[in-house]
Amino acid sequence: MTLPTSSTANEKSGHTGERAAATPSRSPSATLCRQERTYPVWLPTFIGRGIIRDIKARTPYYLSDWADSWNYRVIPAIVLIFFANVLPGIAFSLDLIETTQQYGVSEVLLSSFMAAFIFSIFGAQPLCIAGVTGPITVLNKTIFDIIERQPDPPNYLQFVGWVYLWGAILHWITAALNWCNFLKYVTLFSCDTFGFYVSWVYLEYGVQVVTRQFPSGNGPTPPTLSFDSQTSTLDGAFVGIILALLMTVTSFLFRTLSQSGYFHRHVRRFLADYGMPISLVASSAMAYWGRFNAANPTTLPTGHAFLPAGDRPWLVRFWELDGKWVGIAFPFGVALWVLFFFDHNVSSLMAQGSAFPLRKPPGFHYDFFLLGITTFIAGLLGIPAPNGLIPQAPIHTTSLLVMGHAKKLDIEEGSTKGGPRDAIPPCSSVQHEKSNDSTAIRQRNEADGDETTTTRTRSRMHPPPTDNLLEPDPTQARDGEGDERRHEVPIAVVEQRVSNLAQGSLCLVLLTGPFLHVLNLIPRGVLAGLFWYMGVDALEGNGITRKILYFFRDRALTSAEEPLRRVRKSRILLFVAVQLVGFGATMAITQTIAAIGFPIIIFLLVPVRMWLIPRLPFTEEELAILDGPTASPFTMESVGGTITTTTTFVARFPAVGASLALWTNMLGSVRLVYLLLLPLVAIGQNQYGDNEQTVLAPSERNAQPSQPSKSIAIVGAGSAGLAILKTLLDFPLDVRDGWEIVLYDQRRNVGGLWLPDPPGRPLPSPPELPESPVYPLLHTNTPHPTMTYPNFTYPPLTPLFPSHEYVQRYHYDFADHNGLLPYVRLFHKVAAASWVGNADGGQWEIEVHELNADDPREPPAKTFKKTFDHLVVANGHNHYPHIPKWNGTEGWLANTPAGTPKREILHSIYYRWPQKYTNRAVIIVGAGASGRDAALQVGKVARVAYQSLTPRNEPTPGANVIPKPRIAYFTNTSVVFEDGSVLDDVDSVILGTGYEFRVPFLSSPHSSVLEVDPDTSYNSTTAPTLVSNLRYIFPLHRHIFSLAAEIPPTALSFVGLPVLVANCPSDIAQSLLIAHAIANASVLPSRAQMLDELVAREAALRAEGFDPYKVGHRLVASSETDHDYQDALVEYLKDVGALPHDGRKFVEPWRRQSRAQSRLLGRAWERVVRLGREKDWLEGVETEEEWAELMARLARWQRSYEEEHGVPAEEFVSYE
């Protein structure tokens, strides 16, 4: 277990003597130097790269996709999605069936089965449900209407076969050229608008199903294809309406009961899982009861078992179509491609939305390639082409959610009493609206108006795979049911392939004679009720609906943390107006013969959002609240990440401007809708008050003519960067109003070093550095409760020593929960930062490279410069490896004996799997964190493993290694150690020798702020500027503020430099001091006083036998321990009046005690894992107090065991 979150954070701490014996070398840059390319950025650089990456990323999970289906959640998912898929598909096709007479129920069922079979067996993301949708039936019917008007119409199915073939070819081209990366620009704006349209289509079709049961004015309607010919009667039509209402009302009744506090939780869970299918069966049965049966309501049409409509052959010989029609079919194929590109991919995005804690990667490119195959097969068989279903796809994922208990909001006693209200400001929360599937989990976080500071705990988590997932409890209860009720949140999704395959197989079963007869018994009125239920249910959760209903809420019942309260109401209406225009245009065109073009309108929603919306009078923060990514960065990695800026779309796709002319002309309509909605502003003002404070964007306030009062750039989105960003945003709005705060990070997600290498990308070879030092078996080496941000715990059932996946997700959830993501600019690398000014003032001129999301190693897609008042460096110190130099290494590497593995000397930053060293002779250099992990892991598989140590270090406990002294030099054949011993059989050397303190954008040749010199003769009082000797950056006040003579201390600060600390709480303590100093520079002493304090610290270190310039930022002095350092920072703020004196230390006693017992707790947890009792210990543990009590019990349990049996020799390392 390794990496810097704990006392063994930095490898160099355990191998300081190695530096004395070796000359350090400068590390190479992590960025490849390549020639500038001459082709446009948006062109694909490798055909099929997206497909290959998707296959590589998903293949390791294929077997688990089947094994994970052994879970009860799969059964209700099959039942629910079967009814939600097949019946609406048939109902959507009724108009197509009756109009064209070319399709029947058999074709619809076969299409659903084919899609389920292909995507569940071969697809990358089996959670996305594909089938026959309303839009494809509209498209097919429009094609029929157009060609039938021709004087010599072609064969319809042959023509459609060519349409599908052209569409399939475009699908394959799209996937091969990586055009699915366009999805990075799809936000909730587009998804909500399209979802709003689909919801109304469901409602409209429900009405059509009912009205078509009424007999026409010329007498009864002709019979349809079925086993039993039926004619519509007036009585049957009214019975159909009753059945439709019965189906709708009972479905909502079951859903309401499942969310109530009535009945046992298992009953509520049963109602949530099976309420809709029960309603459908019961409503259908009512049609055969008493006088309802006599009315003879119209039922579903069917056909003959496994036979297509009109007794035609299944194979459509489309190649026999006349040549002129082949060319005419091409534009129809383009329309089909546009429709499926948006419809299917958005369905997949929504099935993998941010509300779902998924752990397996997506595969948009590969799945779209498969969609081309299903489209081609559909044309070959003469069946409707299937594609992703909305809202069925997100409903499917929702039905597979595993629920767990949410965190309790425990009010801290006296947390704010007796002190100023804004001393420790409440945390802000910018929350994105999630999926517009209303059946997804709705987390209600209602505030009661109390101004006390609450102990916040996290409520969402993306856990790595575990064998003991919580069984789902019932859906959340309504608010107000008592304090004892614990709300539930999603903690996992049963990601598997069986539910999709099973529901598709049931469609095939329906094609048999007996089941077709059963299908024929279902009244059409019940289908209308199903349409209404699904339509209204989807509307309830849609973002457009939520924004409109916001204006009608009572202020007393509206959460104080409701994000929309931070947006001007006129801007909410303007945003909704644009969405409604898009919805209206789409709905209107589908009612005309021009319906063939409605996919274009849908597709244009994306450039409208990226090009038009930012030009309207919205601030950046308002857009961050009104809109957001559809899926999490984890999901969006498949398409190159999420675009968070509003200016990149046109820069990358300049040709799209012409296509926006249609929407530009619609601005008049926007203004009309906006004016119609303006009366709602008056309603809102009456409810919420005219003097309600409007929150303006703290970053890039493009709607404000004045310049920001302060501008702050943060570099790095790891633990430190998120801590300072959160702390700055915690200031009340009246304090930070006008501040511009931006966080830049060059990687694809937040999490810093805990974010592993991009999936599917091979590990680079030296001198190129990998993005992350994380290796697959990495776990923390301290209990996670001791290293959390204050009042934000890991989720229930998290292992006490979690793997790196948990830690990275923890940081992402911290950022998401606290509304930090809108301020983060991913794929933005700060290349240079220069101070333009003097000790009295000035500004930072920062050069930023916007990296290519597909491959950040390529030349930047865009470069720009920006000025800031304050620069906070939070880029970590575990990226540039310290590589000692020994004489003779080149000769040793070049003389690999025949028949043995190629010799190598690699730093642990390149270490990934111990299996690489099977049957090799290996030397592990160092006893730091990575050195210990490598010794424990490699020692189990190597032929022989040695650990090279300094005199004061000991071999790793429990590791199968032979201790050796420090390496002296190499010969062509041997490794020679300082004691004169020689090893001749060594194959590999792993360097666990730590990392160097480098900040490239502050150093030469990019800047002159930081001088890097490992042999510098400067000290803290003589350095003319900041200096790094690769171990220590000086002079800094308390490891934070620059004391360089020409830069004001508050202008440049560092977060996260201290080593041997618990990062998150230490980062918060540092951030509190930085934030208050930025807000009020007088908080800090004078530069002379701070320099005197630094000199005194260095003298105290020397008095204890430490060289401060070798110890660096390691907190090793007895007067400067980890916890004392944090307490001192916060106590200083209390002494100067920036924080109230509350009589409490910043570091809680339980955190101190548990950190001191890390080794004991590690041995205890290893024993718990061996006994298989993890769930017994972890179940019900949620709050900080509960985690503290668990660690205390665990320590007592292990101490008692060791008193009786002795201390185990083997040290914990992995829980795989």
Let me know: does 481 contact 492? Beta carbons within 8 Å. Answer: no
pLDDT at 560: 66
What are the tokens at 646? 């509003």
Average pLDDT along the chain: 81
**Last residue of some domain: 278, 297, 316?**
297
Compute CA 1009 distance to the chain's CA centroid, rounded to the nearest angstrom: 36
pLDDT at 1209: 55
**Last residue of some domain: 991, 1006, 1027?**
991
Q: What is the CATH number of the domain that holds 950?
A: 3.50.50.60
What are the tokens at 303? 């056909």
Separation between Cα atoms, residue 131 and residue 388, nearest integer Å: 6
Q: Is 225 left (phi over 0), alpha (psi -120 to 50) or beta?
A: beta
The neighbour count for residue 423, using CB atoms within 10 Å, is: 16
pLDDT at 478: 35
Number of structural domains the chain divides into: 2
**Last residue of some domain: 958, 991, 1024?**
991
pLDDT at 642: 62
The neighbour count for residue 261, using CB atoms within 10 Å, is: 14
Separation between Cα atoms, residue 452 and residue 465, nearest integer Å: 37
Let me know: does 729 contact 1071? Beta carbons within 8 Å. Answer: no
Q: Is the dihedral of CA 528, 401, 494, 54 positive or negative?
A: positive
Pairing of strands 862-868, 870-873: unpaired
Domain-embedded: residue 562? no
Q: What is the pLDDT of residues 210-251, one digit of tens each?
A: 888 888 655 444 444 433 445 668 888 899 999 999 999 999
Specify the length of the chain in residues: 1216
Compute CA 328 distance to the chain's CA centroid, rounded to the nearest angstrom: 43
Residue carrying structure tokens 């704990």: 6
Q: CB under 8 Å to 854, separation ≥6 — which residues?
A: 45, 49, 178, 181, 640
Whether omega for the bond prior to residue 1035 falls within 30 degrees of 0, making it cis, is: yes
pLDDT at 784: 94
Domain-embedded: residue 986? yes
Q: Say if residue 150 is exposed, middle or buried (CB neighbours under 10 Å; 0-12, 13-18, 19+).
A: exposed
Let me know: does 675 contact 542? Beta carbons within 8 Å. Answer: no
The neighbour count for residue 679, using CB atoms within 10 Å, is: 11
Q: What are phi and psi of 1033, to 5 degrees?
A: -100, 125
Domain-embedded: residue 511? no
Q: Give the angle 586-350-138 at the CA atoms, nearest 5°.
A: 35
Domain-embedded: residue 180? no
- Residue among 1110, 1125, 1124 at smallest CA distance from 1038: 1125
Q: pTM surpassing 0.75?
A: no
Which stretches of the chain drop beneath a pLDDT of 50? 1-44, 219-229, 406-486, 644-707, 1210-1216
Let me know: does 339 contact 475? Beta carbons within 8 Å. Answer: no
Separation between Cα atoms, residue 938 and residue 947, nearest integer Å: 11
Residue carrying structure tokens 């080593």: 1059
Range of the domain at 928: 884-991
What are the tokens at 792? 């934000």
pLDDT at 911: 94
Helix (H, G, I), strand (E, B) or coil at 739: strand
Distances (CA, A) of 1175 to 53, 115, 467, 796, 1215: 36, 39, 10, 10, 14
Domain-embedded: residue 241? yes
